[in-house]
Amino acid sequence: MIYREVVVMKRILTVNAKVGMVIAGDIYTDAGLLVVPKGTILDKGVIEGIKSYSVYDFFIEEEPKKTISYDIDELDRLMLEDDGTSTGYYDKIKATEEFHKFEAQFVESVKNVEDNINNIVKMNNPVCVEDLLSTVKKITDKFKPDVTLFDMLHCIEGYDDSTYIHSLNVALICRVTGEWLKMSQADLDVLTVAGLLHDIGKVMISDDIIKKPGKLTPTEYAIVQSHTVHGYNILKNQPIDDRIKQAALMHHERCDGKGYPNKYKHEEIDLFARIVAIADVYDAMTSNRVYRSAICPFNVISTFEESVDLFDPKFLYVFLEKIAHSYVNNEVVLNDELEGTVVMINKYALAKPGVLVGGAYIDLSRQDKLKITAIK
């Protein structure tokens, strides 16, 4: 289980300070002198002290700490709470001409994926790698394969939350990731098809279970887990690269040995399955699912950073760094509702960049309680 702390902070003017409020961050004078440490509960004397140093404003804890928890391995069926901050960033993308073209191509490609997968599973047709690849390349040839593409995937909504959409998303995310990893063209193609077919075993499982909102019973969860073995069995006799078969079998294995179906660790997990695992979880967290709202990319990065034991760090770090860097110069909303601009990525804390807020530079990595909740 992963535990996350959600602290609601609020900036107040010193003139509005009241006895009993809790200081949420160290208060310094302009000269850098510590006036009051964080955690201090205000009384009359402390308030007078703050005023005497001409401190204009400071942060207080608005509510007591609360904790939410979730299991990373069940991410795609739990309602991850966003902080409720709406964002105009995705609305702006949805309004662009490019997004409309992307959406039209995406819908066409999803139909191709559905036909292809059904032909393989139900008609027992051979996997046509060229056809599958062309479905994905129709998108990546027209639209720049970078984080912008991830953002556009995030904006696709109003369609059935199907395995086919998820499969195409993961294939696209895998292809972009493979390019960031500077893979050869041949490997890129194999990784793309591995992403496209990773969940093919889900076609064997009832929609009542696959699309059930909320938590599954242990029996239902075991049935869902079996999609990995079903997928491998569907593909094992197909004349395709073995890494595609292994990705279907192993994409839910985790480097700490707590995944499924075989509880493999680190190098026991096929290299491509380790990449598909990252793309799979990223899509589960960021796509607009029917049973929860989508979440902020910096929250996603933060969740991955808290889960480093589960994924291969040499792939995960490149993936997260590229995503974080793509939001430099973007306006963001912080959890205290202040707004700022991302100006510097901290490679040791990718979810906590340097942000300019009203002309002041805030290094979020040095602020326990401040975080980005939305791209603006």
Residue 40, CB-side half-sphere exposure with 13 Å CA sphere = 21
Length of the chain: 376
With H, G, I as helix, E, B as strand and everything else as coil, classify residue 12.
strand
Q: Give min distance, CB of 223 to Fe ion, in A.
A: 13
Residue 73 interacts with Fe ion (CB under 5 A)? no
Q: Give min distance, CB of 268 to Fe ion, in A.
A: 18
Span near Fe ion by CB under 5 A; candidates 26-34, 179-187, 198-206, 214-222: 198-206
Residue 336 interacts with Fe ion (CB under 5 A)? no
CA–CA separation, 360 and 348 (whole Å): 22
Nearer of residues 76 and 81 to Fe ion, judged by Cβ: 76
**What values do phi and psi take at 107, rounded to 5?**
-65, -40
By the 10 Å C-beta count (0-12 exposed, 13-18 middle, 19+ buried), 54 is classed as: exposed
Q: Are 136 and 110 in contact (CB under 8 A)?
A: no
Span near Fe ion by CB under 5 A; candidates 33-41, 44-52, 56-64, 191-199: 191-199
Residue 151 interacts with Fe ion (CB under 5 A)? no
Nearer of residues 151 and 199 to Fe ion, judged by Cβ: 199
Nearer of residues 199 and 270 to Fe ion, judged by Cβ: 199
Residue 283 interacts with Fe ion (CB under 5 A)? no
Residue 168, CB-side half-sphere exposure with 13 Å CA sphere = 31
Partners of 70 in beta bridges: 2
Residue number of the CB closest to Fe ion reads 199
Span near Fe ion by CB under 5 A; candidates 83-91, 150-158, 179-187, 193-201: 193-201
CA angle 124, 129, 135 (to 5 degrees): 105
**Out of 73, 199, 312, 336, which residue is the one contacting Fe ion (CB under 5 A)?**
199
Residue 253 interacts with Fe ion (CB under 5 A)? no
Q: Give min distance, CB of 58 to Fe ion, in A.
A: 47
Size of the site for Fe ion (CB under 5 A): 1
| List of residues 6+ apart from 320 with CB closer than 8 A | 301, 304, 305, 350
Nearer of residues 283 and 312 to Fe ion, judged by Cβ: 283
* Residues at the interface with Fe ion (CB under 5 A): 199
